[in-house]
Chain A
C-alpha cells in the first residue's frame, strides 16, 4: 500500500478537517479571541489529526503486508481466505467475507474439475486396459495363422497398440499420483525389448541396427523408458530414407548420468524446425509429408522425461541424420 494512495483514499477526511479548521478559524477570528490561543488550538488539533492519520496508515499497512506475506508463502493462492486472520475493522471484515465466498466457490470449482480430470484419467486407464484384450487376441490370431494378410493385419494392430499407449501415457501426464517406479534398469534389456517390438517393420524396411556399449544400468522407470524409446525407434523407421537406412544406438557415461542416444541416417529435421519438435501438435515439414503424424509422440517423450528427471535433446542435419539423446541418472535421487 502506497502512502499517496492512502492519502487519495482519505482525501474526504482531510478536506473535511481543513474545512472544519477554516470555519473554526473564521469563527474564532470573528469572536476576536487571542491569536495565540487560536494558533495553539490549531496546532494541537493538527497534531492530533496527523498522528491519528499516520497511526491508521501504519495499522493498515501492517495489515496488508501480513496478508501479502501469507499470500506469497501460499502455493495455492486461492486458499487465502482460509488462512488469513479475521479482520476487526468492519470494512475489512466485509471484504474478508466477500473474499471467503468467492474463494469457496473457486475451491468447489477446482475440486470439481480435479475430480472430473481424475475420473477421466481412470476411464482412459480402464479403457486402455479393456482395448488391449481384443488387441492381444487379434495379435495371437495373426501369429497362429501366419499369411501375408495376417502379417499386414498384425502390422496394423501394432500401430493401434502404439496409439493406445500414447493415449495411456498422455492421460498419465501432469498427474499428481504418478504411476512410475524409479529403479535400476538394464538399458540393454529395454533396448532389446523395443527392437523386438519393431522387428517386423525394421526387417521389412531393411534397416541396419548397430548397438554399441549398451550394457549399462541407470535409474528410471522401465515401462516409461521403453515407451519413450519405442516412440524414437518408430520415428527412425517412419522418417528413414529409402536406401541403406540404419539406426545406431549407444551410450556414454559420466559421473552422474548415462547418455543414451539413438541416431538414424534418415531424412533429418530442418534447422528452423529443430527447436519445435518437442512441442505439442507440432508436425513440421516431415510430419505433413507423412499422413500419420500427430505431433504427440515427441511431446510425450519430453514430458515423460521431465517427470522422470531425465533430459532429452535432439540434433539433426537435414537429409543426413537425427540424433536423440536421453540423459538418465546413474544413481537413485533421494526424493524430497
Chain B
C-alpha cells in the first residue's frame, strides 16, 4: 500500500483529503508542524507528497527544495495560486506535478496514480479473471478456453469495471461515471450499445449470460 504525506495548513481540507485518499486505498500521513516538515516527511518514508505552497511558517517551494537535497520522492504541488510563474517556480524547485485548487477529484487521483506508477514501476500486470474468463490488460483482449477476442477501448474499460466489481450490482450511472473518468464519454444510450456489443462478443466466445441485467438497478457479472 502506498503512503502519501499531506502537507496542508487548512484543517478542513487536510482532514477531508485524508478521508478521500484513504477511501481510494492509500495510507495517509498528515504533517501539521510545518517548521520541520521536510524532516518529518523523510522520517515517515512516504511514497508521494501532496504539498501546499502557502504555509504559515515557510512556503512549500522551500520545503520542496530541502527534500530534493535528500530524496527523489514524487512531489505534487497543490495550491490555489495558479499563475504561470507559480507553476514554473514549483517545477524549478523540483516538483513533479502541479495541481490547482479546487481540484477535480478524478483528475487528482489519476495524477497521483500516474506519478506513483512512474516512480515505482512494477513488472507484474495481473490479468483479471472471473468464471474462467481472462481479461488481458496489456493486449486488451478477452480469453476463454484458448479462444481470444479483441476489444475496443470502450468495451475494454466497461468490462474492466465489471471485472473489478465482481459479484456486485453496478448501476448504469456508476459505469457511465467511471467511463467518463477514463476518457470515454458515454451516455445512457451508448452504454446500452456497448453492453449489447459486449454480449455479442462473449457469445461468439461461447459465453452466455455473463453480464446480467438487474432490472432498475444495473448490471452484474
Contacts and interface: CB of A to CB of B under 8 A. Distances in A.
A192 B183 contact: yes
A221 B181 CA distance: 24
A94 interface: no
Contact of A203 (B80, B104, B177): B177
Given A192-B183, A196-B181, A206-B187, A179 B85 contact: yes
A199 B177 contact: yes
Interface stretch (B11-19, B131-139, B149-157, B194-202): B11-19
Contacts of B192: none
A300 interface: no
Chain B contact surface mostly: helix
Contacts of A129: 54, 80-81
A300 to B, nearest CB: 15
Interface in B54-112: 54, 80-85, 87-88, 100-107
Contacts of B10: 133, 136-137
A125 B85 CA distance: 13
Contact of A143 (B80, B83, B105, B185): B105
B190 interface: yes
A124 interface: no
Contacts of B82: 168, 223
B185 A141 contact: no
B53 to A, nearest CB: 10
B80 A136 contact: yes
A196 B106 contact: yes
B16 A141 contact: yes
B176 interface: yes
Contact of A208 (B54, B105, B187): B187
B188 A132 contact: no
Nearest to B180: A199
A281 B182 CA distance: 37
B42 interface: no
A235 interface: no
Contact of B17 (A140, A168, A196): A140
A317 to B, nearest CB: 24
A211 B102 contact: no
B119 interface: no
A140 B12 CA distance: 9
A260 interface: no
Given A196-B107, A223-B82, A144 B23 contact: yes
Interface string A130-148: 1011011101110110000
Contacts of B207: none
A137 B13 contact: yes
Interface residues of B, number: 35
A209 interface: yes
Interface in A257-286: none
B20 A203 contact: no
A193 B106 CA distance: 10
Contact of A196 (B12, B87, B180, B188): B180
A206 B180 CA distance: 12
Listed residue (B16, B54, B100) with the most chain A CB atoms within 10 angstroms of its CB: B16
Contacts of A161: 102
Nearest to B88: A181
A195 interface: yes
Listed residue (A132, A168, A210) with the most chain B CB atoms within 10 angstroms of its CB: A132
A143 B187 CA distance: 22
A253 B144 CA distance: 43
B104 A140 contact: no
B78 to A, nearest CB: 9
A180 interface: yes
A144 B16 contact: yes
B20 A140 contact: yes
A157 interface: yes
Contact of B16 (A125, A140, A211): A140
A179 B102 contact: no
A199 B12 CA distance: 25
Given A144-B20, A196-B107, A203 B180 contact: yes
Interface of A: 125, 128-130, 132-133, 135-137, 139-141, 143-144, 157, 161, 168, 179-181, 192-193, 195-197, 199, 202-203, 206-211, 221, 223
Given A136-B103, A140-B12, 10 more contacts: A125-B83, A133-B10, A136-B102, A141-B16, A144-B20, A179-B85, A192-B183, A195-B180, A199-B106, A208-B190
10 interchain residue pairs of minimum CB distance: A181-B84, A209-B185, A132-B80, A140-B16, A137-B12, A136-B102, A179-B83, A136-B101, A199-B180, A129-B80
